[in-house]
Structure formats: structure tokens, C-alpha cells
Amino acid sequence: MEYEIYCDDCLTKMKEFKDNSIDLVLIDPPYNIGKDKWDKWRSVEDYVEFMGKVFKEIERVLKPNGSFYFFHNDFLQIVELQNWINTNSNFIFKSFLIWNKRYNGSPRKYYFDNV
């Protein structure tokens, strides 16, 4: 099995790839939560428009049987992004994964442990 990992501006890097040439796309995009200056758009609509460009480019390069995963942490924005995907792409939603980050120093380390 051959694989490569790229850490780059996805809209720039994906332009180098042929259509239907990638097996897996895994992205950790900005979340539009204002954590840093690069992580804040004027509105959710502007953010969704930007991410829509990302999704369309991923759709172009992903093989028909490929997989696409993305990280996010704001559920209401995830809803907006999923609505955009449902309306404007051929992606088929399969499942929602939750990563419970249990590491020392995490303010939520024991959140699920005590349920």
C-alpha cells in the first residue's frame, strides 16, 4: 500500500491532483470559532461558502469508492455544513464519529467516565 500525507492549503494543493485519484481525504479545517485570526469568517454563511469550495474540490479528486472525513467542534456549524453537502454534492453521509479526548489536562477528561 502506498500513501502520502500532505499538510498544505487544501484548495491550492488539491488543484495538483487528477479527478477521481484519491482514496481518502481527511481534513481538519478551520472551525470558524475565532480561536485565531485565520479561524474566523464574517458570518457562518461566508464560512459555509468557503467550505463549500473545499467540499467540491474534494468531491472532484475523490475516487467514487473513496472516503472523506473532516473534524469539527461546533455542532450548529456542522449542521450548516451538512445541509450544504446534502444540497450541493453527491456525498453520501454514513456516520457521525465523536472523539472523546481523554488526556491528562483535558477539562472534559472524565466527562463520559462519570455518566
CA 79 – CA 97 distance, rounded (Å): 14
- CA atoms of 97 and 50, how far apart (whole Å): 23
Q: Band of the pLDDT at 73, cuts 50, 70, 90?
A: confident
Give the integer Cα–Cα distance in Å for 94 and 101.
22
pLDDT at position 63 is: 97
In whole angstroms, give the CA distance from residue 25 to residue 62.
7
* 110 against 78, higher pLDDT: 78
Say if pTM beats, i.e. exceeds, 0.85: no
More confident residue, 103 or 16: 16
- Is it the case that residue 69 has pLDDT exceeding 70? yes
